[in-house]
Amino acid sequence: MLESALAGAAVGVPAWLAFGSTASAGVESGISRGRAASGEAASAPAAAVPSLDRAALTAALDAHRAERGGTMGLVVHDLRTGGRFAWREFENESLSTIKVLILLACLKKVQDGGEPFTDERHSQARRMIQASDNAATDALLEWVSTGKVQEAAGLLGLKATTVRGGGPAGSKTWWGYSTTTPSDLVSVVDAVVTGTPVIHAGHRAYIRHLMAGVVPDQRWGVADPPLPRTAYTETKNGWGPLPDGYRLNSIGRVLGNGRSHTMAILTRSPQGFRYGRETINGLSKIVYDALAQPLAAE
């Protein structure tokens, strides 16, 4: 059975997160006037902070894949440094991860002077993102059109995303069978978190607000579990069966405990949903632990 709708209520976004920025602190050191006058040498600079070991992270992910089986790939973007890490990227059916792009296209239509985003559409957007309600998604996609969602993908610079729509669930033209890659999905999340000219800051904050309130039993993969409860997360997952493996995909943002990153994980589980959820959670935990050290930009 494909994704079922669950009731969920939005949760607030902390004011200091309202526009997706994070504070950074720097330490300025120098020599006092008295020491400078006496000619005393400057103190040695602080030791460089160790960076994430890409080879070690790759090895850990490879070992997890060998143990669990199936097809999997991911991209993570460390917002502290701008560093990116890609592992075994491949193209997968999006399932409900496409719903973030659908909502972005809806908000662009409003922004461009289309019909207003009515109370009914707000309700549909909440149910689509927070409870993965497919009927709400059908209604919003019919309103905005598949073409406009594909257009939004192009404006965001997505290179490998093909948006489908119009057919019933499980058909070849169903929106859940849109195809995409981890890189493209990270680009969508980055646009929502860090900024894009496609939609303005208020609309981005609205999407993040909904992603922060996803119902608990859909918060796996990029979000918790297995991450510490003190980590702030915004997420959207997608899942469903296909003959060559159960699709479990996860996108989102993690902030806190020294981390600030966006990530997309795509998988095909050989043993169904529960096994696949454990597998994708393991991938997320490996990356989270590795990001105790910053990911240096290349």
Confidence at residue 45, expressed as pLDDT on a 0 to 100 scale = 54
133, 5 in Cβ contact below 8 A?
Answer: yes
Tell me the β-bridge partners of 71: 268
Sheet hosting strand 232-240, strand order edge to edge: 84-87, 71-78, 259-269, 246-256, 232-240
Residue 98 has pLDDT above 60, yes or no: yes
Among 289, 220, 188, 221, residue whose Cα is nearest residue 72: 221
**pTM confidence score:** 0.85
Q: Where is pLDDT greater, at 12 or 145?
A: 145
- The segment with the largest mean pLDDT, out of 21-25, 26-30, 86-90, is 86-90
User: Which residues, in sequence order, are CB contacts of 186 under 8 Å at separation 6+?
Assistant: 75, 76, 77, 84, 251, 262, 263, 264
Instruction: Calculate mean pLDDT across residues 9-16.
Output: 35
pLDDT exceeds 90 at position 37: no
Predicted pLDDT at 258: 97
Check whether 35 has a pLDDT greater than 50.
Answer: no
52 to 74, 221, 226, 283: CA distances (angstroms): 16, 21, 20, 16
Write down the pLDDT at residue 298.
Answer: 86
**What does pLDDT average to over the chain?**
88
In this predicted structure, the answer to whether residue 14 has a pLDDT above a threshold of 80 is no
How much is the pLDDT for 115? 86
CATH 3.40.710.10 fits 53-290, yes or no: yes
